Amino acid sequence: MNITVTAERPANDKVVATITVPPAEVDSYVAQAYRNIARRYQFQGFRRGRAPRPVIDGIVGREAILADATNDLLNDAQPVMLDELDIVAVERPDYGEDPTLVVEHESYVVTATVTVPPTVELDSYDAVAINMPPAEATDAEVDLQIEQLLAYQTTYEDVEDEEREVAEGDIINVDIASREGADDLAGKNRTMSLSADSLPEELVAGITGMRKAETKQVSWSRSHMHGDHEHVHAYDVEVTLNTIKQAVTPELDDELAKRSFGFDTVAELRDAVKEEIEEDKQRSLPKLKEDRVVEELGKRVTIEELPEAYENQVFQELANEFLTSLQRQGMSLDMYLGSRQIDTEAFLADLHEQAGERARQGLALDALAKEKGFEASEEDVRSEFEKAGVEDVDASIDEFRKDGRLSAIRESIRRTKAVRWLVDNAEVTEVDEVAERRASRETETAE
């Protein structure tokens, strides 16, 4: 489609484009509108598709034909406009409440207001500074991995002290009777960990402090929104504490290393674990570094509040990704929320927070790409399609351009170049994060 597009940006998140369509293009859309109507309806006295214009005008109305032509023209002009201006629309362009209809043999001029991601400034365009785990496995990382292996050898024995009270994080054996709404928790001789995320925190709080053979009633409620209505679910259980369990983990020696893990010595086991950790780091550290530099850059965005339309667009993208992930696991959203005892409002609030962070990070990458002059060339675009393994690169590019999606590909390419620059230039401090976390927990325990 042959059109001329000019644009200005009166607001940070708005582009106002003027589209001019030459008379020849206008005439072709009017002619096509007549052909479509002639084929769609049977006009008495004429074969389908053969009714002349005066007949169609008399029955359907010329204004209706021009309205169809205008609608088709705008639908086709929209992706061309987005491609010409190289912008990504957040919402469908607004042509006003009642766009002017096309007129045969005349140029058609229309104004479109397009909502786009806002342009932001960063408080610094310098390379970011981040902490990263070292590429080599540390002693603390090896110790943690071995502790996790030994956890499979752990057994649980009853605590003999009759006066011992249940503490948070204990392993316990209980009888639970559901009085209301908690059939999934009910059962005899249930062994459970009070540190499990799947347990309602109110239930954990109610059990904490109980003693052996004690029976207690615990109640709580959950609310969620269904459409415009709030539904409250009440839960009520009777808990009898049978025993408190204590974990008994065997001491690691050469005999256990050989019997349980197939290594002659503890030293050989540690070497194997170290090698496995370092192989995993080769795969995971590059992505971790990308995530951290982008997260750090996102903190530099100076805009206080994101436009609602843009944040909602990112929220929808994030929600769709999450739902697709659940579907691959054969799980619905209700199943996911129910299994984790997560309130719908709390889930949505967390998702909105994540969307806000992702939106800021994307805008920060746009700002950095602009500052550094990163562009998306035609070769870059072709490379993206080639890496995707499409059979016909040219056909795929044409399809994306026809749909107005090529601008999003270019945006992604510029952001990728910005990420690469950040990764290449980041000031990295290696930190044994596992050792730091252990030291922090030990300090908290001592206090």
Domains annotated for the chain, with CATH where assigned, are 4-115 (3.30.70.1050), 155-248 (3.10.50.40), 280-446 (1.10.3120.10)
Helix (H, G, I), strand (E, B) or coil at 151: helix
Rg for the chain, CA atoms, rounded: 32
pLDDT tens-digit readout, 202-255: 999 999 999 999 999 999 988 766 556 777 888 999 999 999 988 888 999 999
Two tokens, residue 108: 């058609």
Structure tokens at 184: 């999934």
Handedness of CA 422, 423, 427, 431 (dihedral sign): positive
pLDDT digits (tens, 9 = 90+) for 299-329: 999 988 899 999 999 999 999 999 999 999 9
How many CA atoms does the CB half-sphere of 384 hold within 13 Å?
19
Nearest alpha carbon to residue 84 among 151, 17, 138 = 17
Prediction pTM value: 0.79
pLDDT 10s digits, 19-41: 999 999 999 999 999 999 999 88
Q: What per-residue confidence (pLDDT) applies to 228?
A: 66
